[in-house]
């Protein structure tokens, strides 16, 4: 089984993702980049950040040990959002970035994401090389001395200044609730919004190492919805543990997900685009609404890295996922929840319209998603009965819906998604297909 998923290496900290694995991954990454000539002619530097998980400290120590043994200087930037690491790589002209985070996963999990000197996640080919070299003996070149660790206390302010520098609007007069998921956003998001002029109510902004994503953040919106209503706020925003995504709530408590956000930003005068890049999970309602405005749409596999690859290859400027990963290539090379939130709120401020009004451009097709766990996800593509069932459902839906069946790249489960014009059909088809997947592939 491949070690790297769609978003780095993840697993239960101390069980799947051990200190030894973290160390060996760092050594292998340094070897691959050294052999590729990335470090030619200068002393290599890596940016290492983490989210607020308790396990981040010992994984950071192991990664830094592996990198410094390999001749790499390490700048430890502490607890910051994943996109901050991407930004700092290019800002500080580093050669490599490492983010220790399992994003929206629970606190017992953790993960390791690598970034190249462009600030982008490593492509599949480079990750494959790292995996093949994992655990093999390697000596750093004789001319490379042991690296040094540097405690970087200034990069947080650099990131905040960068974010604020991308907007021109004042948020004065807006009351905003921000759910920080007890994660990396806790140390940045409330301050950024206040500096932009908003009245800010911060919730789930007290991380203790164990409460990240716990009934809060972008995967648990109930508390944010209730707080927006009780505070009579103009809107709410929710980040995940490493703040590379954002979902929004309008003043009435309605969810404005990544599809709505993409459509709103596609209409923003500062982000002109003729084509939006999404994924196979993107709601048909967005695709139809974009078509009505003369904007094209391209679908990629799920994962913001694939969205970015398509954007880069074809020169598109806006893309993202329903989950709230949004990439604006004018400003960055990865999904950035804080950046996205700032530009969404900026559009609210400039238009003098409520978030609900801005989101009214599209009619959302009901989607039912069922995660089927306890199954052999690697056997999905070869099961004939399941494939025949998918074809039958697709035939019945025709142009009024679709079926998406895929193995998760970050979790041990299979996702069953049905989209249809009415929720009843979507629910019935999803439950039927999920039941078949469970019976056919159960472990």
Sign, CA torsion 417/418/421/425? negative
Sheet strands (E) in 36-146: 45-50, 73-79, 96-100, 109-115
Closest by CA to 82, choosing from 219, 181, 196, is: 181
Q: Which two tokens stand for residue 349?
A: 């401020």
| Max intra-chain CA distance, the chain | 67
* DSSP H stretches of helix in 352-383: 355-358
Active-site positions read 103
Bridge partners, 279 (sequence order): 300
Side-chain half-sphere of 324: how many Cα atoms within 13 Å?
A: 29
242-255 core/surface letters (b: 16 or more CB in 10 A; e: else):
bbbbbbbbbbebeb
Backbone angles phi and psi of 439, in degrees to 5: -70, -35
Give me the residues paired with residue 403 across strands: 418
Which DSSP letter does residue 400 get? G
How many DSSP H helices and E strands does the chain contain? Answer: 14, 18
Say how far apart CA 394 and CA 24 lie, in whole Å.
Answer: 45
Give the Cα separation of 422 and 425 in Å (integer).
Answer: 6
What DSSP string runs through 286-311? Answer: HHHHHHHTT-EEEEE-SSHHHHHHHH
User: How far is CA 104 from each of CA 183, 230, 431, 435, rounded to the nearest angstrom?
Assistant: 9, 26, 25, 26
Spell 338-355 as b/e; 16+ CB within 10 A means b: bbbbbbbbbbbbebeeeb
Distance, in Å, from the CA atom of 341 to the CA atom of 324, rounded to the nearest integer, reads: 10
Pairwise CA distance, residues 87 & 69, whole Å: 25
């Amino acid at each position: 089984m491949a070690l790297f998923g769609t978003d780095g290496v993840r697993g239960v900290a101390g069980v799947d993702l051990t200190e030894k694995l973290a160390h060996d991954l760092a050594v292998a990454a340094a070897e691959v980049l050294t052999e590729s000539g990335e470090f030619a002619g200068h002393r290599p530097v890596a940016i290492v950040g983490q989210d607020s998980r308790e396990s981040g400290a010992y994984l950071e120590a192991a990664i830094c040990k592996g990198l410094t043994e390999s001749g790499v200087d390490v700048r430890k930037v502490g607890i910051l959002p994943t996109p901050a690491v991407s930004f700092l790589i290019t800002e500080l002209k580093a050669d490599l970035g490492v983010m220790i985070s399992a994003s929206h996963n629970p606190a017992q999990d953790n993960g390791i994401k690598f970034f190249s000197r462009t600030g982008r996640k490593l492509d599949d080919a480079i990750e494959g090389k790292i995996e093949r070299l994992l655990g093999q003996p390697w000596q750093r070149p004789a001319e490379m001395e042991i690296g040094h660790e540097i405690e970087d206390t200034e990069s947080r302010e650099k990131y905040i200044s960068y974010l604020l520098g991308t907007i021109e609007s004042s948020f004065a007069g807006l009351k905003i609730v921000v759910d920080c998921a007890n994660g990396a956003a806790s140390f940045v998001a409330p301050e950024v919004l206040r500096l932009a002029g908003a009245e800010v109510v911060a919730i789930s902004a007290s991380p203790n190492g164990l409460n990240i994503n716990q009934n809060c953040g972008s995967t648990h919106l109930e508390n944010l919805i209730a707080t927006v209503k009780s505070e009579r706020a103009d809107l709410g925003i929710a980040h995940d543990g490493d703040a590379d995504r954002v979902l929004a709530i309008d003043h009435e408590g309605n969810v404005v997900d990544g599809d709505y956000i993409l459509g709103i930003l596609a209409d923003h005068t500062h982000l002109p685009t003729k084509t939006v890049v999404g994924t196979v999970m993107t709601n048909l309602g967005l695709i139809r609404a974009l078509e009505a405005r003369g904007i094209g749409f391209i679908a990629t596999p799920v994962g913001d890295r694939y969205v970015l690859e398509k954007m880069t290859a074809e020169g598109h400027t806006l893309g993202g996922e329903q989950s709230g990963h949004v990439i604006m290539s004018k400003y960055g090379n990865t999904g950035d929840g804080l950046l996205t939130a700032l530009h969404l709120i900026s559009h609210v401020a400039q238009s003098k319209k409520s978030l609900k009004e801005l989101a009214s451009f599209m009619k959302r097709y009901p989607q039912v998603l069922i995660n089927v766990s306890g199954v052999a996800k690697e056997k999905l593509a070869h099961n004939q009965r399941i494939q025949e069932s998918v074809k039958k459902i697709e035939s019945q839906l025709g142009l009024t819906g679709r079926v998406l069946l895929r193995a998760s790249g970050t979790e041990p489960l299979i996702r069953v998604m049905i989209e249809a014009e009415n929720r009843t059909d979507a629910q019935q088809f999803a439950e039927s297909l999920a039941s078949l997947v469970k019976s056919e592939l159960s472990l």
